[in-house]
Amino acid sequence: MNWNSHQFVWLDWAIIAAGIVLVAWAVWREVQKDKRLQGSETSGGYFLGKGEPWYVLGAAIFAANIGSEHLVGLAGAGAKTGLGMAHWEMQGWMILVLGWLFVPFYQHAGVFTMPEFLNRRYTRKTSSWLSIITLISYILTKVSVTAFTGGIFMESLLGLPFWYGAIGLIVLTGIFTVFGGMKGVMTLSKIQTPILIIGSFLVLFLGLYTLGDGSIGGGWNAMLEHARGLNEGYGTNHLMHLDKADPLYGQFPGFWVIAGSAIIGFWYWCTDQHIVQRVLGQQEGEKAADVMRRARRGTIAAGYLKVLPVFMFLIPGMIAAALAAKSGSGFEMGSTDEAFGSMVKFVLPAGVKGIVTIGFISALVASLAAFFNSCATLYTVDFYKPKHPDASEARLVWIGRAATWTVVLLGLVWIPVMMGLGGLYEYLQDVQSLLAPSIVAVFALGIFTKRITPKAGEVGIITGFIIGMVRLICNIFKADLNNMTALNDVFGWFWNTNWLVFEIYLLAFIIVLMAVVSIFTRPADEEKLKGITFLTQSEEQKKETRSSWSTVDIIASLGVVILCIAFYCYFW
């Protein structure tokens, strides 16, 4: 057997088959154990996965974030545009905002879902709009994109036809989510996170070793040297593109990119259901301070892990581009989307390919399962349960499973539509930048001040969503609109403004709009706001929050911030 084969051999396939069986058995065993401890299957356990230790929470948050958009999209971005996309990955500091700022308010509000929180802070209509926006975004972007790019990854790595990989991944994940629930997702996260990290770093170091002809340091220098010569001489070896003549300025517009990526990061890490869901679970009778401490430490652990994807995926993409350009390397990739899968086949020895692939498949399933479970939670808790308050725990779990299968089917139906859209990642960036501002505004203002009225929150989230969707439609027909000279002269700024700049303007507009509406509308009752804004916390709640952290937590959090700053300083 050729141990250095650049393709999968029988040993790899045997390891993959055995690994999938072992992983399935481990998850099934853990889920059954949890059912026995609970006495029966509960909605809280199915949707939230109660009582996990902080390091499992950290791994679960990290695993929920890592999907095929990283294995395909981030590595492909590294091969195509270098370090520019790292702005969205260096968000470890933003996860700290979830743990230190938002978790106490979510805990004191006693909510399962983000719409529940907005219902407490604003109105039922506000929470319903958030649920609708979130479900639409999950089905049309997250679930479908994960399956779509997962199919590409399976094709580049295992040689499976695209549809076999995409449909196989989404159906396998649907089955896993239905029977495993959040407990299954948490268990899978514990298994796949170390394999994923170790396997990706093997690809990184062996890739550098190969590029440097036996020297990792030489490979690093060769990768940076190749990146410096790209992008019409402006280079892709740095984060900041400050010169307007730089071809990448339109995608990463100077300092605007820092603020724009932070807005998306705030929305994703602090208010998105499939991330926040991991830190909302608790054991029966557990003290609030203990729940907050575990959740905060989970976010700190996730903050450190979040630094890794740049080195796990983006830089291997840059290595792939340098290897493909190196004469006599023997490395080939059809497109930048195939960068990571091609690297796995090329640099890893036989047997190791199989082990690492198990981690990658588990990561894809865990990430997609997180979205499925979040959709099930949103539908069951925010739509079904309020109309059926007497529904049994078994009934709620069954409804959640039915909702999951619905999401699976809708995700499958949408994939062919997405394949015909073109410019997938530009489209996705636009969607994120258009959804984030209104949600960031209602959550941030809702917590920081009690002066924002319930009606202002309702107007803010609805107006922001409508403006965002109008901009999205205009982007789809941008070429036609730009040809209408009279219309373009008056309204062209609306669809031609850089997407990150537009995002910042939209956020500012919604904040001003909510402030103005608050002047003319009735404020919320003090009783309703108790515990969910800075100025309405009780002394007992403040003491609970204070007792949930120590000097160790502060030092550990500062470490995450220092790592992020150091990365920016090195790659500026």
For residue 422, give every residue at least 6 positions away whose Cβ sits within 8 Å of its Cβ, in sequence order, or none: none
Do 113 and 253 reside in the same domain of the chain? yes
What is the model's pLDDT at position 34?
A: 63
Rounded Cα distance, 38 and 559, in Å:
38
The letter for the amino acid at 558 is L
The number of domains in the chain is 2
Do 409 and 467 reside in the same domain of the chain? no
From the list 438, 418, 420, 437, the residue with the least C-alpha distance to 428 is 418
**Residue 116, both tokens:** 């529940």
Q: Which three-class secondary structure state does DSSP give residue 8?
A: coil
- Inter-CA distances, 337 with 70, 72, 320, Å: 10, 5, 11
The letter for the amino acid at 342 is S
Rounded Cα distance, 333 and 517, in Å:
54
Do 458 and 329 reside in the same domain of the chain? no
Residue 568 domain-assigned (yes or no): no
Rounded Cα distance, 186 and 370, in Å:
9
Do 182 and 239 reside in the same domain of the chain? yes
Do 198 and 98 reside in the same domain of the chain? yes
Residue 564 domain-assigned (yes or no): no
What is the model's pLDDT at position 362?
A: 78
The last residue of one of the domains, among 415, 440, 472, is 415
361, 362, 367, 368 alpha-carbon torsion, rounded to 10°: 60
Task: Look up the domain containing 245 and give its range.
Answer: 10-415
> Which contacts of 550-556 are long-range, i.e. CB under 8 A and separated by 24 or more positions?
553/293, 553/296, 553/297, 553/300, 556/297, 556/300
DSSP letter at 71 equals I
Rounded Cα distance, 38 and 398, in Å:
17
Rounded Cα distance, 572 and 434, in Å:
27
What is the model's pLDDT at position 489?
A: 78
From the list 316, 78, 79, the residue with the least C-alpha distance to 203 is 316
Residue 473 domain-assigned (yes or no): yes
- Inter-CA distances, 350 with 13, 111, 329, 346, 354, Å: 10, 48, 19, 10, 7
Do 287 and 271 reside in the same domain of the chain? yes
What pLDDT, in 10s, does the model give residues 495-539?
A: 888 888 899 999 999 999 999 999 999 988 887 888 788 888 888
Do 427 and 411 reside in the same domain of the chain? no
Conformation bin of residue 423: beta by default, left when phi > 0, alpha when psi is -120 to 50: left
The last residue of one of the domains, among 351, 382, 415, is 415
> Could you report the average pLDDT of every consecutive run of 10 residues in the chain (572 residues)?
65 82 77 63 50 78 75 83 89 89 84 83 89 79 76 78 80 70 66 80 91 90 92 90 89 89 90 79 67 89 91 92 86 81 85 82 75 75 78 77 77 70 58 87 91 93 91 79 80 84 93 95 85 82 85 93 93 91
From the list 530, 492, 564, 525, the residue with the least C-alpha distance to 97 is 564
What is the model's pLDDT at position 127?
A: 87
Phi, psi torsion values for 12, nearest 5 degrees = -60, -45
CATH at 79: 1.20.1730.10
What is the model's pLDDT at position 444?
A: 92
Helix, strand, coil % (nearest 5) of the chain?
A: 80, 0, 20
514, 515, 520, 524 alpha-carbon torsion, rounded to 10°: 80
Q: In residues, how long is the chain? A: 572
Residue 566 domain-assigned (yes or no): no
Rounded Cα distance, 547 and 544, in Å:
5
Do 346 and 432 reside in the same domain of the chain? no
Going 556 to 560 to 566 to 569, the CA torsion angle's sign is negative
Do 154 and 107 reside in the same domain of the chain? yes
Do 405 and 451 reside in the same domain of the chain? no
Secondary structure of 85-96 in the HEC alphabet? HHHHHCCHHHHH
- Inter-CA distances, 208 with 7, 130, 327, 411, 566, Å: 19, 45, 16, 37, 22
Rounded Cα distance, 53 and 295, in Å:
9
Rounded Cα distance, 402 and 418, in Å:
24
Residue 75 domain-assigned (yes or no): yes
What is the model's pLDDT at position 322?
A: 92
Residue 554 domain-assigned (yes or no): no
- DSSP annotation string for 529-560: HTTSSGGG--HHHHHHHHHT--HHHHHHHHHH
Do 404 and 481 reside in the same domain of the chain? no
**Do the beta carbons of residue 134 and residue 382 sit within 8 Å?**
no
What is the model's pLDDT at position 114?
A: 84
Residue 459 domain-assigned (yes or no): yes
What is the model's pLDDT at position 5?
A: 63
pTM of the model: 0.82
**Residue 87, both tokens:** 């702005």
Do 205 and 268 reside in the same domain of the chain? yes
What is the model's pLDDT at position 228?
A: 92
The last residue of one of the domains, among 398, 415, 432, is 415
